[in-house]
Amino acid sequence: AWAAWMCHLRLLKKAGHSIRKFLQVKDDVRFHSLTVVGAVRFGSPLLCSRAPPLLQNIRVVLVNTSHPGNIGGAARAMKNMGLSRLVLVEPRLFPHHEADARASGAGDILENAQVVATLEDALVGCNLVLGTSARDRRIPWPLLDPRECGTKVVEEAGQGAEIALVFGREDSGLTNEELQRCHYHVHIPSDPEFSSLNLGAAVQVLSYEVRMSWLAAQGQPSKVEKDEVASTKSGELATMDELERFYEHLEQTLVAIEFLDPEKPRHLMARLRRLYGRSSVSRAEMNILRGILTETQKAARGELLKRK
Ligand code: SAH
């Protein structure tokens, strides 16, 4: 794919277009032609439409969807609201004619959808992850309603954060473990007697709130401009994959110093995930934490005593 892409660029050059010139074509045509080529060649959902840049930072992740029709419904809901990046974690049937039928005019979202094996793969590069749930779970977690979710997503995306909205299985939703990978949970305040929405409908509600918040933000100075002393910019935040490596390191260290008993973990890692998830840890801060863990492991092995 890479060779084909390079060849494509070379051909353009040969034809007397410098790449710069190619980019100078009318704004949205430029965006479309470049990104469509990139998306098709790389099979990536990351750059695939004319969606406004801010909304392109948002990916919708569907975990283990059973009914292909729901994947199509979700794609349509997304496209109606200007979202374009769909990631499917092990869908049962995809591609599928029912998905195409329900997507209606949103077939491009399906064509560019990225299919991955695990939720972890779906979240690579993300700074902010919001997981949706139709009901309460055992460990209380920072909870947003769809409107607060829309506001948060647009604020963070505007600062360059990569964001995932994660949706669960039709029959059983997201597992506790999956929910614990999320910084926030989002619950659509449905009737508790009948709380579970159709998957596509849930995607619609959240996408709509993102759009409303995005429309409201148009023409307004961004939060970064308003707040010059903003602390960590989201683009500098540790990504989900970096956080995952940190949690592994943390767990190993806690076992080494016998703070964590693998036989009786008592939700310790979940609680720590919640703590760090709330803290907007920057990449630089993550390096400090990793450094502390490395030295702690050495101390646990007695290496520091030997050094003295
Ligand atoms: N029986 C499942 C419901 C799954 S519905 C359960 O108890 O969790 C399929 C998906 O749609 C959910 O995983 C969630 O992503 C979304 N969803 C449905 N209803 C929702 C609600 N009220 N709030 C937030 N998300 C909801």
Residue nearest ligand 1's atom 9 by CA: 170
What is the Å distance from ligand 1's center to 130 Cα? Answer: 13
| pTM attached to this predicted model | 0.72
Supply the residue whose CA is at minimum distance from atom 11 of ligand 1: 199
Q: How confident is the model at residue 5 (pLDDT cuts 50, 70, 90)?
A: very low
Span from the CA of 134 to the centroid of ligand 1 (angstroms): 4
What atom in ligand 1 is closest to the CA of residue 188? 23
Q: In whole angstroms, give the CA distance from residue 281 to residue 299.
A: 25
Question: Which DSSP string do the residues of 64-126 spell out, in sequence order?
Answer: S-S-HHHHHHHHHHHHHTT--EEEEES-SS-S-HHHHHHHGGGHHHHHT-EEESSHHHHTTT-
Continuous segment of H or E residues that includes residue 186: strand 184-186
Section 87-98 average pLDDT: 98
- For residue 144, the CA-to-ligand 1 centroid distance in Å is 14
Q: 110-127 pLDDT, tens per residue?
A: 999 999 999 999 999 999
Q: What does residue 144 show for φ and ψ, rounded to 5 degrees?
A: -120, 150
> CA 111 to CA 251: how far, in whole Å?
39
CA distance 88 to 166: 10
Proportion of the chain above pLDDT 70, given as a percent = 77
- Pocket of ligand 1, beta carbon within 6 A: 132-135, 167-168, 170, 172-174, 186-188, 190, 195-197, 199, 202
Residue 192 amino acid letter: P
Helix axis angle, 240-256 to 268-278, nearest 10° = 140
Q: Please give the Cα distance from 86 to 51 (Å, whole number).
A: 13
User: What is the percent of the chain where pLDDT is above 90?
Assistant: 67
Place of tokens 């990449």: 283
CA of 280 to the centre of ligand 1 (A): 26
Provide, for the chain, the percentages of residues in helix, strand and coil under a 3-state DSSP scheme, each rounded to the nearest 5. Answer: 55, 10, 35
Cα separation, 280 vs 231, in Å, equals 10
Mean predicted confidence (pLDDT) in 209-232: 71
- Is 60 exceeded by the pLDDT of residue 195? yes
Whether 59 contacts 87, CB under 8 Å: yes
**Ligand 1 centre and the CA of 94: distance in Å?**
21
